[in-house]
């Protein structure tokens, strides 16, 4: 069965690999079917009810997607072709008698000049005529089923099986927290890097440069045990304030990321955003020393077969290789003119 993920479009590769990571966490068997502009279609081969439950769990973790659709059809982004495809749909796989529905159109960029409101009415009429007078009733305010058409380089139509609550990330914006410190990851990025680690519920994620706890906040909110380390007392106290504000369970320690107080292979995942400005030199001998030694320590405490995700200001390929990691994937995220973050996904064999 095909399922489509409506992507946020805020980054070229991060939304796609976040989805792959979350599907892996739920142990779904899938393959990439097609990748359109701001829409990823995957083929999932499992029992339908079980898939829907797992996709609901996936939606609760995702940060860089809007919704998940059970695909009904894919066609050219042409008005007549869309209507013809709708008329040929087996609608029973998406709606049952007596359920209400609404049709919504999302136009991505400038791929088409189709009038979205007119298309919604026309497709809605096609669905209505597939039933009888007592079935498939329209309810624009509170429908049981939402049919969604994503108009990108193709038209992907389907029924929404899950939505991502992106507004909650805005509620956790850094300036709204009890303790604010500039230069931290925004909540959606923090959640995404947590997801890239493929950490599962009940496992433990460790952040050796936890700062004000932005990564730990997103970790705790998805049911993951979180441990943080911070070298400055003032920042650690602020991290406690932020975590307590969300009523999360956590463990925070003061210490040096170059000398971690943990036994070998004790962590299920490591996700961190080390300092990469002048502030990094408050305690460290040099930036190179800080990174080299902390990466080796991260490798030591991470379990075999697990992932670490490190956010830096420049590529750190040689340093992570020297530490023992395999570079699984590297993403570049432009923040502003003078800063492009490098998100390195690392694997420990």
Beta bridge partners of 155: 75, 151
Q: Which of 114, 141, 163 is the last residue of a domain?
A: 163
- Per residue in 96-129, pLDDT (tens digit) is 988 999 999 999 999 999 999 999 999 999 999 9
Q: For 272-308, give one letter per residue: b (16+ CB within 10 A) or e.
A: bbbbbeeebeeebeebeebbbbbbbbbbbbbbeebbb
Q: Is the predicted pLDDT of residue 280 greater than 90, yes or no? A: no
Count of domains for the chain: 2
Residue 253 CA: distances (Å) to CA of 95, 216, 223, 248: 52, 13, 20, 16
Whether 267 and 331 share a structural domain = yes
- Per residue in 182-235, pLDDT (tens digit) is 889 999 999 999 999 999 999 999 999 999 999 999 999 999 999 999 999 999
Q: Is the predicted pLDDT of residue 282 greater than 60, yes or no? A: no
Whether 76 and 154 share a structural domain = yes
Q: Which of 163, 193, 228 is the last residue of a domain?
A: 163
Of the listed ranges 134-138, 206-210, 239-243, the least confidently predicted one is 134-138
Whether 200 and 340 share a structural domain = yes
Whether 110 and 212 share a structural domain = no
Domain boundaries, position 239? 170-347
- pLDDT, greater one: 217 or 134: 217
Say what the pLDDT of residue 218 is: 98
Whether 186 and 332 share a structural domain = yes
Element (H, E) at 37: none
Q: Is the predicted pLDDT of residue 145 greater than 80, yes or no? A: yes
Q: Is the predicted pLDDT of residue 277 greater than 70, yes or no? A: no
What CATH number is associated with residue 335?
A: 3.40.50.150
Whether 187 and 253 share a structural domain = yes
Confidence class for position 276, pLDDT limits 50, 70, 90: confident
Q: Which of 163, 190, 220 is the last residue of a domain?
A: 163
∠ Cα 69 219 173 (to 5°):
80
**Count of C-beta atoms within a 10 Å radius of residue 98:** 11
Whether 200 and 242 share a structural domain = yes
Residue 130 CA: distances (Å) to CA of 1, 80, 165, 208, 299: 22, 18, 32, 58, 58
Mean pLDDT of 264-286: 79
Cβ-proximal residues to 45 (8 Å cutoff; 6+ apart), any chain: 1, 29, 30
Whether 139 and 183 share a structural domain = no
Whether 99 and 174 share a structural domain = no
Whether 99 and 189 share a structural domain = no
- Say which DSSP state 115 is in: -
For the record, the structure tokens of 93 come out as 């796989």
For the record, the structure tokens of 144 come out as 């049981």
Say what the pLDDT of residue 133 is: 64
Which position has the token pair 């990564």? 215
CA distance linking residue 53 with residue 159, whole number of Å: 15
∠ Cα 337 274 179 (to 5°):
90
Percent of the chain with pLDDT over 90: 88
Confidence class for position 321, pLDDT limits 50, 70, 90: very high
pTM of the model: 0.96
Q: SS3 of 339, please?
A: strand
Q: Is the predicted pLDDT of residue 279 greater than 60, yes or no? A: no
Cβ-proximal residues to 9 (8 Å cutoff; 6+ apart), any chain: 15, 37, 38, 108
CA distance linking residue 229 with residue 209, whole number of Å: 6
Q: Using only C-alpha atoms, what is the Rg of the chain?
A: 23
Q: What is the mean pLDDT of the chain?
A: 95
Whether 279 and 256 share a structural domain = yes
End-to-end CA distance of the chain: give it in Å, rounded. 33
Mean pLDDT of 255-259: 96
Task: Identify whether the C-beta of residue 77 lies closer than 8 Å to the C-beta of residue 154.
Answer: yes
Say what the pLDDT of residue 283 is: 58
Residue 342 CA: distances (Å) to CA of 4, 177, 272, 274: 28, 25, 12, 11
């Amino acid at each position: 069965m095909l399922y489509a993920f409506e992507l946020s479009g805020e980054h070229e590769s991060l939304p796609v690999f976040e989805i792959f990571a979350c599907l892996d966490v739920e142990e779904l068997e899938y393959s990439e079917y097609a990748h359109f502009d701001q829409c990823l279609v995957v083929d999932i081969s499992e029992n339908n009810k079980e898939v829907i439950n797992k996709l609901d769990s996936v939606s609760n973790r995702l940060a860089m997607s809007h919704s998940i659709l059970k695909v009904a059809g894919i066609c050219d982004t042409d008005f007549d072709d869309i209507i013809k495809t709708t008329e040929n749909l087996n609608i029973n796989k998406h709606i049952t008698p007596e359920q209400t529905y609404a049709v919504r159109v999302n136009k991505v960029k400038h791929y088409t000049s189709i009038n979205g409101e007119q298309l919604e009415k026309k497709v809605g009429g096609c669905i209505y005529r597939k039933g009888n007078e007592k079935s498939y009733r329209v309810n624009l305010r509170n429908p049981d089923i939402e049919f969604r058409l994503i108009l990108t380089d193709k038209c992907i139509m389907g029924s929404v099986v899950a939505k991502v609550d992106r507004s909650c990330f805005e509620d956790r914006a850094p300036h709204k927290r009890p303790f604010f410190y500039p230069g931290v990851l925004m909540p959606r990025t923090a959640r995404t890097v947590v997801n890239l680690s493929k950490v599962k519920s009940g496992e433990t994620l460790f952040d050796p440069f936890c700062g004000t706890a932005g990564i730990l906040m997103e970790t705790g909110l998805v049911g993951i045990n979180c441990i943080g380390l911070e070298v400055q007392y003032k920042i650690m106290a602020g991290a406690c304030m932020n975590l307590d504000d969300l009523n999360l369970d956590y463990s925070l320690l003061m210490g040096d990321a170059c000398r971690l107080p943990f036994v070998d292979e004790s962590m299920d995942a490591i996700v961190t955003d080390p300092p990469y400005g002048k502030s990094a030199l408050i305690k460290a001998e040099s930036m190179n020393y800080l990174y080299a030694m902390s990466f080796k320590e991260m490798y030591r405490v991470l379990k075999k077969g697990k992932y670490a995700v490190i956010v830096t200001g420049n590529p750190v390929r040689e340093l992570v290789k020297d530490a023992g990691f395999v570079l699984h994937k590297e993403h570049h995220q432009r923040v502003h003119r003078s800063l492009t973050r490098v998100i390195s996904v690392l694997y420990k064999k």
